[in-house]
Structure 1
Amino acid sequence: MSTPKAPPGTFTLLYFAAATSYTRRQHDHLDAPLPVAALYDVLEKRYPGIRAKVLSSSALTVNLDYVDVDEEGARGEAGMVIKEGDEVAVIPPVSSG
């Protein structure tokens, strides 16, 4: 299944595994620009509890490049900004058995 193109002024946020289960969505379109450091706050408001249950152990990519959210938060205003048309993904850890 393909993800619809982000409407103007937004970026696409993809959810995988536990993130999909928690949000009950495969993707969202959020307003851009948005500092990476603010993304988890936006998601916590939209999906209360997601930070502790999913995001704290997940990886984040922006346009297929892994991003360290804690490092971006420490940079403050100088940190990475998610732009219109970007593709961001929340990737929870995967277990195998």
Structure 2
Amino acid sequence: MGKKNRNKNDQQPQQEFIFQKKNYMFMFLGVAFIVIGFILMSGGGSDDPNVFNEDIYNFRRIRLAPTMVLIGLGIEVYAILLNPHKKRN
């Protein structure tokens, strides 16, 4: 009662992931750049609130770290838009 006849030829469509291994590799690389950027940005504070520490304005925290974060975000966008199925000639 209510049973459907199923043949061996009836197959469910295979599910395919949106991203492939290549996409995930680039995503991991982008996350690594972002994490390194935030690590480079940290620190530089002073233990004494009455003393100002000039290290907060050094090259690493003002230029290098934000550049690393932006590069990481760019890599993430590339990883999302990358089509791993595209054939190269």
Question: Higher helix fraction: Structure 1 or Structure 2?
Answer: 2
On whether the aligned pair clears a TM of 0.5, the verdict is no
TM-score, normalised via structure 1 length: 0.21
Structure number with greater Rg is 2
Question: Higher strand fraction: Structure 1 or Structure 2?
Answer: 1
